[in-house]
């Protein structure tokens, strides 16, 4: 996806964490902030983790990495199937063969799958080594790279094994978005719509207007706003006590959809869009949200060709219920949904044995 370029923006945000503070650096040239970080570390080895798609697009970048640093490279297959204990095990083997020590560093270059996978390995190798995230997709730049959530899928269940382990540095370059397919760009917009709808209606309105007049500076500003909101939320509630749960709007159902389609039929941002519309419809039914707000949310997704309901016969309500009962956000015998309201959001627990949810899935998603 190519956008009109205007003036550059160089900014740094410092994220406060109870584990370790870390900067988010906006830079067209990823080497400058990376070099500054490594200058403080002395003689270290680096493992760059990426996927085949990113490697093929940016081979000159990886050649320069290998020329400039004492470095190794791990290339995973693209897609959610690489976010697994099996792929993590292959990386552990490579680290051990290369005699990596506690002081050495992992650098992830890719989207959310690579960031989560590499962060998980960093969190668990030697009980924790340093890592840097260079997110290359819109979704990973505004969402998954920030806040320290790392992990892998397990037995078809999304993000079932993981931890909260912040990176030492995040380097955001919107230049990577020039090669991002439209579908992946829309998936990132899906997460930005979530942030705007719950936390910043002005940003939400800007996203509605953006498809009509795209340019790099406008996108940079919206990315910066979205990141500022994510930063504020994770600083106040790093371990998901309450406020950070707002970022799970759409994710309870969305993760179930991803799991049932094996992370293939729907991309993450698409599944989350379906989840958000479902939860917004339920909020309208519970008189927590206006019909006008629901229609605005649907219009935003439709502006980016994002799905708002499931394809016919792609999955059943019973299958969704089975996966929903295993969601890590559940509390005791309750499935927890995050419902939008006219003034924000609420946590909405539903008993696992309550057939109302099954009926809502059938009626609001129009499935069997």
Residue numbers in the known binding site for NAD(+) are: 112-116, 136-137, 149, 176-179
Q: Quick check: 233 and 244 in contact, CB under 8 A?
A: yes
Q: Is 340 helix (H, G, I), strand (E, B) or coil?
A: strand
**Number of alpha carbons in the 13 Å side-chain half-sphere of residue 232:** 10
Strand partners of residue 128: none
Q: Quick check: 323 and 259 in contact, CB under 8 A?
A: yes
Q: Quick check: 309 and 273 in contact, CB under 8 A?
A: no
CA distances from 298 to 71, 190, 210, 304, 307 (A): 46, 11, 15, 10, 9
Q: Are strands 22-26 and 46-51 parallel, antiparallel or unpaired?
A: unpaired
Residue stretches of the annotated binding site: 112-116, 136-137, 149, 176-179, 191, 251, 268
Handedness of CA 118, 119, 122, 127 (dihedral sign): negative
Terminal Cα-to-Cα distance of the chain (whole angstroms): 37
- Which residues are identified as catalytic? 127, 149, 191, 230, 240, 244, 248, 251, 255, 268
Q: Quick check: 145 and 160 in contact, CB under 8 A?
A: no
Residue stretches of the annotated binding site for Zn(2+): 191, 251, 268
Strand partners of residue 346: 339
Torsions phi, psi of 191, nearest 5? Answer: -70, -35
Torsions phi, psi of 350, nearest 5? Answer: -130, 130
Q: Is 9 helix (H, G, I), strand (E, B) or coil?
A: coil
Measure the CA–CA gap between 116 and 352, rounded to whole angstroms: 29
């Amino acid at each position: 996806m190519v956008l009109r370029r205007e003036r550059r923006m160089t900014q740094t945000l410092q994220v406060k964490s109870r584990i370790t503070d870390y900067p988010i650096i906006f830079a067209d040239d990823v080497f400058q902030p990376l070099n500054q970080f490594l200058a403080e570390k002395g003689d270290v080895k680096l493992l760059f983790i990426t996927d085949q798609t990113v490697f093929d697009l940016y081979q000159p970048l990886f050649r320069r990495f290998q020329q400039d640093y004492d470095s190794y490279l791990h290339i995973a297959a693209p897609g959610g199937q690489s976010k697994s204990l099996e792929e993590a095990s292959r990386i552990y083997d490579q680290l051990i063969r290369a005699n990596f020590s506690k002081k050495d560093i992992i650098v992830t270059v890719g989207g959310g799958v690579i960031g989560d996978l590499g962060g998980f390995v960093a969190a668990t190798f030697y009980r924790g080594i340093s890592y840097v995230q260079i997110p290359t997709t819109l979704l990973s730049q505004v969402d998954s790279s920030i806040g320290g959530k790392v992990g892998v899928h397990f037995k078809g269940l999304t993000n079932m094994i993981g931890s909260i382990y912040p990176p030492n540095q995040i380097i955001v370059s919107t230049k990577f978005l020039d090669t991002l397919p439209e579908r992946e760009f829309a998936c990132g917009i899906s997460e930005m719509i979530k942030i705007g709808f719950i936390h910043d209606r002005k940003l939400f309105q800007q996203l509605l207007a953006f498809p009509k007049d795209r340019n790099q500076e406008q996108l940079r500003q919206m990315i910066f706003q979205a990141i500022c909101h994510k930063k504020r939320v994770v600083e106040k509630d790093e371990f998901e006590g309450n406020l950070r749960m707002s970022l799970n709007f759409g994710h309870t159902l969305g993760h179930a959809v991803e799991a049932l389609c094996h992370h293939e039929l729907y991309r993450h941002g698409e599944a989350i869009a379906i989840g958000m519309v479902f939860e917004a419809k339920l909020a309208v039914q519970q008189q927590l949200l206006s019909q006008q707000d629901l229609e605005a949310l649907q219009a935003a997704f439709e502006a980016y060709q994002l799905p708002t309901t499931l394809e016919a016969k792609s999955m059943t309500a019973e299958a969704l219920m089975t996966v929903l009962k295993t969601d890590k956000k559940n509390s005791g015998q309750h499935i927890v949904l995050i419902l939008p309201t006219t003034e924000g959001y609420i946590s909405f627990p539903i008993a696992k044995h309550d057939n109302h949810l099954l009926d809502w899935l059938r009626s609001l998603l129009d499935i069997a």
